[in-house]
Chain A
Amino acid sequence: MPDIGPDIEDLFRRASKDYPLKQGEDKWSEIASKINGQPITQPAIKQQSGYKKYFSILLFLLLFLSLDLFFSFLFRFLIKLRV
């Protein structure tokens, strides 16, 4: 193993240039679509999913409110019947 004591920073500099990293996935098609001015569809998907999320929350709230109203009427009706 080479000596890493005396000039540690120089060794780090050499390592930073020549370390064995894989090149990774070729993303040329993504780059080409971006530099040709074609918008990437990701934001649109995000917007759609955000809209869906809020819509489902709203539906859930409406369902909760309607169930609440239904049961309160039902209880009142049952109490009246007993009386």
Chain B
Amino acid sequence: MENIIHIINGCINKEPKYQRLLYDRYRGFASKVVFRYIYRYEKAIDVVTDGFVKAFNHFDQFKKRKDDNDEDVEKLLMGWLKRIMVNCSIDELRRSSMLPEIGGIPEDVWDITDRNYNADQLLLYKDLVTLIKELPPNYRIVFNLYVLDGYAHAQIADMLKISISTSRSSLSRARAFLQTLVKKMEEEKLCRI
């Protein structure tokens, strides 16, 4: 397996072999970031593609310290890639004017075969992500940015061109909405038992 620092240096030098390696290694991670923001799976995969194009075109902007070990560099790289994917997702949502989506998520987008987790846990995670996607787009973005991706309200306000108070109120509405959805989900599961 190629060392991450070699891959990064290859990408900085725009070597296709290393760019391909990086894409193969992180496209699953990137898809999981983008799919939380973009409702449609096919559109999310397109956004991931755009994100990688952006990343490869600006790889010289990725900053790593010389004395960092592989693990630290990988964390930095994943944080950098995540920021790019989040920005691309927000651009895409702006293009579609943040209109609410209709129709459900097809079952064939899920892969419940990961041996690192038990099936119940994977199903629970799948259900929770589906709940996030049920939020109206503006609440979903703020919840994703603040709770899951660790942005501050000032940053969110700047990214979405809204006020800090709007960001705060969207978050509290998203939380309330999710609490209701989680309660409903629990009740449905209890009914099935």
A interface residues, Cβ below 8 angstroms from B: 1-2, 4, 8-9, 11-28, 30-32, 34-35
| Interface 9-mer from B1-9, B45-53, B161-169 | B45-53
Chain B contact residues (Cβ within 8 angstroms of A): what range?
A: 35 or more
| Interface 9-mer from B61-69, B94-102, B107-115 | B107-115
Q: In the complex, which of the residues A8, A9, A24 has the most CB atoms of chain B within 10 Å of its own CB atom?
A: A24
Q: Which residues of chain A come closer than 8 Å to B186, judged between CB atoms?
A: 4
Q: Which residues of chain B come closer than 8 Å to A16, judged between CB atoms?
A: 32, 36, 129, 132, 144, 148
Q: In the complex, which of the residues A4, A20, A35 has the most CB atoms of chain B within 10 Å of its own CB atom?
A: A20
From the candidates B45, B52, B125, name the one contacting A14 in the complex (CB within 8 A).
B125
Task: Give Cα distance in the complex from A40 to B113, angstroms.
Answer: 36
Q: Which residues of chain B come closer than 8 Å to A23, judged between CB atoms?
A: 27-28, 31, 111
A to B CB contacts below 8 Å, 16 in the list: A1-B120, A8-B182, A11-B128, A15-B125, A15-B129, A16-B32, A18-B117, A19-B126, A20-B125, A21-B28, A21-B31, A21-B32, A24-B45, A26-B27, A31-B23, A34-B53
Query: Contact: B109 with A2, CB < 8 Å?
Result: no
Chain B residue at minimum C-beta to C-beta distance from A34: B53
Q: Which residues of chain A come closer than 8 Å to B144, judged between CB atoms?
A: 16
B177: CB under 8 A from chain A? no
B75: CB under 8 A from chain A? no
